[in-house]
Structure 1
Amino acid sequence: MYLFRLALASLANRRFTAILTAFAIALSVCLLLAVERVRTEARASFASTISGTDLIVGARSGSVNLLLYSVFRIGNATNNIRWDSFEHFANNPKVKWAIPMSLGDSHRGYRVMGTSEAYFDHYQYGHRQNLELATGRAFQTDPFEVVLGAEVAQALHYTLGDKLVLAHGVAAISLVKHDDKPFTVVGILKRTGTPVDRTLHISLGGMEAIHVDWHNGVPAQGKARISAEQARNMDLKPQAITAFMLGLNSKISTFALQREINEFRGEPMMAILPGVALQELWSLMSTAEKALFVVSLFVVLTGLIGMLTAILTSLNERRREMAILRSVGARPWHIATLLVFEALALALAGVVAGVGLLYVCIALAQGYVQSNYGIYLPLAWPSEYEWTLLGGILAAALLMGCVPAWRAYRQSLADGLSIRL
């Protein structure tokens, strides 16, 4: 232990260089752990973009494609589903609730989704969290009411009572708009950190109303146009929807109902399990995830190399110190061990400071990251894997410390009790 105390005293004598070296290691450790924690929590958050939903049903295509357009509002469906097919499965004894979804329109680059009141009652995200309104209410009997996601309202500066016009299609700039049937903002949802924030929600009746005088994708002209007031008095029951979500009475019946939907003779449909599809989608992004982790490892390696450089640079300046140690009885291996302990002390100080810096950053950014990106970063004790990473950093520092230790050992043998320049 006296050698370790001597190493600490030596570092204290060179405190400015030691502090800078430890700080460089601390920054690299903080970055490594932050990347690992964000990666882990992002994966968990990604998997919880939708929760509590047992099956997502859409036209027959790929499972990832169905997940993308129904949950993440990316891409388009290959086909629609007839309304009577939706009712057939919504009324199935195994089904507890059903949420229909109709997509295809947009507003200034944000997707519009037609749905029912069941969406606000049963859709869940995160850890079984229900949607909540920050202000206003959900749409009711009037088909021309819209509930905005938090990001839409913030980015476009909408408040309750504002009027807006939807556009046909999903392009950021659309030349075809439903300007004869404006919608009124009646509610704004609380931020969720999910695609819900980037969505405008209208009723299925509202989706039918804006297309009631459209034929083959083209709006009617002249007297054939139907006004908003006329549309309110029409039967706005949808003929088709894009997809629907199902919650079941029992998890045991999930696979049986999935098989029943996939083999449905009425029209080609497919049902997916959201969790399985999310894992499949996440695996497609694993390359970028690993690349980010490798970059952070190289940052840690850079910090350790900086430590090695600092110790090696000081060796020639410390030859007199080592000769004095030899003169009071220190052996060459004592000198070598002293250098190893210095490297270990610097790395240990960097690791402790890096972990502390990580927790400070999490405490400061936790609320912002959760509200804007839907990623919850807990102030939790390091996980087993994070402890392994920290142990690996200390082991690497110990190995690197052997390099200056070996040089000091050789120099002390050559110098003896007097310095040879």
Structure 2
Amino acid sequence: MYLLRLALASLANRRFTALLTVFAIALSVTLLLAVERVRTEARASFASTISGTDLIVGARSGSVNLLLYSVFRIGNATNNIRWDSFEHFAQHRQVKWAIPISLGDSHRGYRVMGTSAAYFEHYRYGRGQPLEIAQGRQFEQDPFEVVLGAEVAETLGYGLGEEIVLAHGVATVSLVKHDDKPFKVVGILKRTGTPVDRTLHISLAGMEALHVDWQNGVPARGAGKVSAEQARHMDLQPKAITAFMLGLNSKIATFAVQREINDYRGEPLLAILPGVALQELWGLMGTAEKALLVVSWFVVLTGLIGMLTAILTSLNERRREMAILRSVGARPWHIAGLLVLEAFALTLAGVLLGLALLYLGIALAQGYVQVQYGLYLPLAVPSRYEWALLGAILGAALLIGSVPAWRAYRQSLADGLSIRL
């Protein structure tokens, strides 16, 4: 105990250097824990981009490709699905609800998705959170109504009642636009931090109305052109969609329904479990995740080496102090223990300050991060893995502190009391 008091008194005597060292370690600890917390929660948030959906069904391709275009609006489908195939499985005895998805158009770089009212009722993200309307309402009877994601409305400056023109294809700059059939903004969704924010939502009838006078991917000209008013009075039942999502009555039936869809003889279909596909996709990004963690460890190591440098540098200034301690009865291992305790005390103070900075940062940024990025950072006690990281840092401090301790241990009394010119 007296060695600890002596170590603290010695650090207090060199308070400015000690505080800088503690602050450097605290920043590195904060960075390490912040990266680990963000990594963990980002993985959980990524996995909950879509929740409550048991199966996603699309044309037969790869599971990651189907997940990317149906949930993340990235890439394109290899083929469409016939409407009667969707109806067949939507009426399946094990299916509780079904959400059709039709893609292919865009607006100023943002994807347009045709769907039904079931999308707003059953789609879930995060921890089972439903979609909510921030302004206006859902699309209803008129096929030329659009509900905007929060990012679309904010970035493009759109409000309720504005008319917008959609473009054919998904390129940022499109040469083919549906100028004759403008859509009216009737609703804006609350921010979710998911791809929903970057999507324009229209009805399936609206998607069909856009292309009612198109043939072989080319718009009709002259007498064959259909106006928006004419389209309103036409049969706008879709003939094909891009994909659909299913919610089942029982989780136990998931694999049976998945197998039935994959073996469907009507047309080649692929049913995937969103959670499994998300884990597969996250695995593809594992290298970047590990690289970020390695960088954080190197930052911590830099902080500990800074502490080692500070202690080693102070040894020459403290030779007389060590010699006096030896002269009053301190043994060599007392001197070594003093330096190890100083290193441990500096690191412990840095760890505690780092934890305080981490929780202060989470408290200040929690709301903003969740709204902007859909990433929930809880003010929870450190996990078992985080405690292990902190324990590893303290263990490394003891190991690093043994370097100056060994050097001081070997110094002699005469060397400390002699005056060097």
| TM-score normalised by the chain length of structure 1 | 0.99
2:322·2:416 contact (CA, 8 Å) conserved in 1? no
Partner of 1:83: 83
Is the Cα–Cα contact under 8 Å of residues 311 and 404 in structure 2 kept in the other structure?
yes
In the alignment, the residues of structure 2 paired with residue 321 and residue 34 of structure 1 have an alpha-carbon distance, to the nearest angstrom, of 40
- Structure 2 CA distance, aligned partners of 1:377 and 1:277? 24
Aligned counterpart, 2:117 = 117
Q: In structure 2, what is the equivalent of residue 70 of structure 1?
A: 70
Which secondary structure does the structure 1 equivalent of 2:412 belong to? helix
CA contact (8 A) 1:319 1:419 kept: no
Deviation for aligned residue 1:221? 1.0
Secondary structure (helix, strand or coil) at the match of 2:77 reads coil
What is the CA deviation profile of residues 332-367 of structure 1, one whole-angstrom value per residue up to 9, with x for unaligned ones?
111111100000000000000000000000011101
Partner of residue 27, structure 1? 27
**Alpha-carbon offset, residue 323 of structure 1:** 1.4
Deviation, 1:420, is 5.9
Alpha-carbon shift at residue 274 of structure 1 (Å): 0.4
Q: Distance between the aligned counterparts of 1:420 and 1:339, measured in 2?
A: 23
Equivalent pair of 2:151/2:198 in contact (CA under 8 Å): yes
Which residue of structure 2 aligns with residue 343 of structure 1? 343
Find the residue that maps to 1:98 and give its secondary structure: strand
- 1:218 aligns to 2:221 (yes or no): no
What's the counterpart of residue 278 of structure 2?
278
Counterpart of 1:356 in structure 2 is 356
Are the aligned partners of 1:50 and 1:126 in contact in 2 as well (CA < 8 Å)?
A: yes
Contact 2:103 2:112 in 1 (8 A): yes
Letter in 1 for 2:403: V
Percentage of pairs with the same residue: 83
Question: Do 1:181 and 1:227's aligned partners in 2 also have CA atoms closer than 8 Å?
Answer: yes
User: Which residue of structure 1 lines up, in the alignment, with residue 259 of structure 2?
Assistant: 259
Take 2:285 and 2:48, find their aligned partners in 1: how far apart are those partners?
Answer: 16
Counterpart mapping for 1:3-402 below 5 A = 3-402=3-402
Q: Which amino acid aligns with 2:291?
A: A
AA partner of residue 221 (structure 1): R
Assess if the C-alpha contact under 8 Å between 1:332 and 1:413 holds in 2: no
Deviations 1:240-282 (A, max 9, x none): 0000000001111111110000000000001000000000000
* Cα shift at 1:418: 4.6
Q: Distance in 1 between matches of 2:213 and 2:207?
A: 12
Question: Aligned partner of 1:43: which letter?
Answer: R
Deviation at 1:415, TM superposition (A): 2.3
Letter in 2 for 1:312: L
**Residue range with higher mean Cα deviation, 225-234 or 317-326:** 317-326
CA distance in 2, matches of 1:330, 1:419: 21
Contact 2:320 2:417 in 1 (8 A): no
CA distance in 1, matches of 2:39, 2:348: 25
* TM superposition shift of 1:413: 5.1
Give 1:324 deviation, angstroms.
1.4
- Is the 1:23–1:350 contact (alpha carbons within 8 Å) kept by the matching residues of 2? yes
Moved more, 402-411 or 295-304: 402-411
The alpha carbon displacement at 1:412 in A equals 3.5
Offset at residue 64 of structure 1 (A): 0.3
Looking at structure 2, the residues matched to 20 and 9 of structure 1 have their Cα atoms a distance apart, in angstroms, of 17
4+ residue runs of structure 1 moved beyond 4 angstroms? Answer: 416-421
Equivalent-residue separation in structure 2 for 1:103 and 1:287 (angstroms): 31
Deviation at 1:327, TM superposition (A): 1.8
Q: What letter is aligned with 1:41?
A: E
Paired amino acid for 2:234: M
Instruction: Say which SS state the counterpart of residue 406 (structure 1) adopts.
Output: helix
> What letter is aligned with 1:336?
A
Give the Å deviation of 1:44: 0.2
Deviations 1:72-115 (CA, angstroms, capped at 9, x unpaired)? 00000000000000000000111000000000000000000000
**Which whole-Å CA distance do the structure 2 matches of 1:201 and 1:211 have between them?**
16
CA contact (8 A) 2:166 2:178 kept: yes
Shift of 1:223: 2.0
Cα distance in structure 1, aligned partners of 2:185 and 2:290: 43
Which is further off, 404-413 or 347-356? 404-413
Instruction: Provide the rounded CA distance (Å) in 2 between the counterparts of 1:374 and 1:84.
Output: 36
Contact 1:326 1:416 in 2 (8 A): no
- Would you say the 8 A contact 2:193–2:374 is kept in 1? yes
8 Å contact from structure 1 (residues 7, 338) kept in 2: yes
Paired AA for residue 197 in structure 2: D
Instruction: Specify the SS of the correspondent of 2:411.
Output: helix
- C-alpha distance in 1, partners of 2:337/2:90? 73
CA RMSD of aligned residues (A): 0.9
Instruction: State how far apart, in whole Å, the 1-side matches of 2:358 and 2:82 are.
Output: 52
Deviation at 1:58, TM superposition (A): 0.2
**1:413 and 1:179 mapped to 2: Cα distance?**
92
Deviation of the 1:416 alpha carbon:
6.1
Q: Is the 8 A contact 1:26 1:353 kept in 2?
A: yes
Which whole-Å CA distance do the structure 2 matches of 1:314 and 1:2 have between them?
Answer: 21
CA contact (8 A) 2:320 2:416 kept: no
DSSP-derived class of the 1:329 partner: coil
User: Does structure 1 conserve the Cα–Cα contact (< 8 Å) formed by 2:327 and 2:413?
Assistant: no
**1:106·1:112 contact (CA, 8 Å) conserved in 2?**
yes
Structure 1 pair 177–91 and aligned structure 2 pair: CA distance change class (3 A): same
Contact conserved, 1:30 with 1:357, CA < 8 A, in 2?
A: yes
Q: Deviations over 1:25-53 (max 9, x none)?
A: 00000000000000000000000000000
Q: CA deviation at 1:417?
A: 5.1
Letter paired with 2:313: T
